[in-house]
Amino acid sequence: MCEYVIEGGKRLFGECSVQGAKNSALPILAAALLCDGKSVIYNCPDLLDVDATANILRHLGCSVSRNGHTVSVDSSEAMGNEIPEPLMREMRSSVIFLGAILAKNRKVRLSTPGGCEIGLRPIDLHLDAMRRLGAQITEEYGHIECTAPDGLKGTNITLSFPSVGATENIIIAASTAKGTTTVINAAREPEISDLADFLNGCGAKISGAGQGTVVIEGVKKLTGSSHSVITDRIVAATYMAATAITGGKVRLVNIIPAHLGPMIDLFEETGCKIKTDCRSVCIEAPSQLKSVKMIRTMPYPGFPTDIQAPVGAMLTKAKGTSVIIETIFENRFKYIGELIRFGAKVRVDGRMAVIEGVPALHGAKVKTSDLRGGAALIIAGLGAEGETVITDIKHIERGYESPEKTLSGLSGSIRRIDKNGSEESD
């Protein structure tokens, strides 16, 4: 059992680079299954979720090798069409394999991906879209079986909600369908465009990704290629929030400022100075942050739900009262119960959190229950006086690559302790 031990109150200074995007790497690795031969994916973050995705690819018959941030996938021998329950449970977003397996093998069997800490996470939009593409679907005893014996056929699909995962499954499945598919009300996140760029590099014909309407002209086959994953905009904003709560000044390099749009506006509203150039962002925080009247999470290009918790933690020390409305997931305020242990003053009422800023937080022993809620606890610990211990850090390591190394490199005092005795880094 590992934990982070943080000595708070130290201002973050310096420069850091940001890892590749988890939410881009996962669908791209799943899509590699559909591409004949070998794909080489660069800038793949070293995360538990990437490990889980590689395990699923191996289970399906791919050979997967990894050299640092480069993951190679050869799908030549991949004939598998089932993801067993333990692998599905290891990572609920493995539903992203649905479209790739169905398109490749005309049959796929998954166990129903359970909900997770932040919500029920239904997949009805994914399944409805696969039916529109010609699949027959049976759901029984916690398993989903999709078959398309005659292959998938292009069609028009209008999503009732711009679901990121459903958009990705449609793009992947439709890329080798017979005919053209048009997706209306598609998700517009940058990770969607990155997936389309990878698939187009493999011979797909996808246009409009990142817009509200995506057109996929089916091709006979895709051939593996190489691709470098975009930088993780959520991790970048997390380290910006960490800088802000400590009153520090940090430059983040090799990032894509355009992907941080609504988040930059928010940091400026708290009184932070932000300077950007084509591949970096510099944030300089005031000694006292200002509160933010209202944050409402929305699909891209709105304020991202994934940065709600880190920003919520940052605002616990802002001067004044801030309000956050979480419109995407029904249970994404669980971290607030732990924030209160630091002395934060927060009230939650359904989808709304009201954060009354306090002059200081004190260190606490806290427990992580989900990925971004865990990042929020690191931020509170950095901004608190005294020592903080965070347990159950595996949740955090699903999406953040060695945060203790990045934050220590910025003068933060954070250690990763393996309770079996070894202290792994400072």
CB of 400 to ligand EPZ, least distance (A): 10
At 71 the three-state DSSP class reads strand
Tokens representing 367 are 């427990």
**Binding residues for ligand EPZ restricted to 356-415, rule: CB under 6 A:** 371-372, 399
Which window, 79-87, 162-170, 268-276, 378-386, contacts ligand EPZ (CB under 6 A)?
Answer: 162-170
Q: Does 335 bind ligand EPZ (CB under 6 A)?
A: no
Note whether 163 binds ligand EPZ by CB under 6 A: yes
Q: In what order do the strands lie in the sheet with 156-158?
A: 156-158, 180-184, 213-217, 205-207
HSE, side-chain direction, 13 A CA sphere, residue 266: 29
Task: Indicate the residue among 163 and 175 with the shorter CB distance to ligand EPZ.
Answer: 163
- In three-state secondary structure terms, 131 is helix
Smallest gap, in angstroms, from Cβ of residue 280 to ligand EPZ?
Answer: 23
Question: According to the binding rule CB under 6 A, does residue 195 interact with ligand EPZ?
Answer: no
Candidates 115-123, 131-139, 143-151, 280-288 — which segment interacts with ligand EPZ by CB under 6 A? 115-123
One of 83, 125, 206, 379 touching ligand EPZ (CB under 6 A): 125
For Cα atoms 35, 38, 41, give the angle at the middle one, nearest 5 degrees: 90
Integer angstrom CA distances of residue 193 from 190, 204, 207: 5, 13, 9
* C-alpha count within 13 angstroms, C-beta hemisphere, residue 122: 7
Q: State whether residue 43 is helix, strand or coil.
A: coil
Nearer to ligand EPZ, 228 or 331 (CB): 331
Query: Minimum distance from CB of 393 to ligand EPZ (Å)?
Result: 15
Q: Does 26 bind ligand EPZ (CB under 6 A)?
A: yes
Cβ distance 34 to 104 under 8 Å? yes
User: CB count, 10 Å around CB of 120?
Assistant: 11
Rounded to whole angstroms, how far apart are CA atoms 206 and 257?
Answer: 25
Q: Which of 122, 142, 286, 320 binds ligand EPZ (CB under 6 A)?
A: 122
Q: Which of 35, 62, 116, 146 is catalytic?
A: 116
Write out the binding residues for ligand EPZ, residues 165-194 only, by CB under 6 A.
165-166, 187
CA distance 49 to 264: 27
Residues 285-324 within binding reach of ligand EPZ (CB under 6 A): 305-306
Q: Is 267 in the site for ligand EPZ (CB under 6 A)?
A: no
Give the residue from 1, 2, 10 showing the smallest Cα distance to 387.
10
From the list 341, 312, 339, the residue with the least C-alpha distance to 326 is 312
Nearer to ligand EPZ, 123 or 214 (CB): 123
116 catalytic? Reply is yes
Site mask for ligand EPZ (CB under 6 A), range 132-161, x = bound: -----------------------------x
Q: Which is nearer to ligand EPZ, 126 or 341 (CB)?
A: 126
**CB-CB contact of 74 with 224 (8 Å):** yes
Binding residues among 87-106 for ligand EPZ as defined by CB under 6 A: 93
| 284 vs 243: CA distance, rounded Å | 8
Binding site for ligand EPZ (CB under 6 A): 22-23, 26, 93, 119, 121-126, 161, 163-166, 187, 305-306, 328-329, 371-372, 399
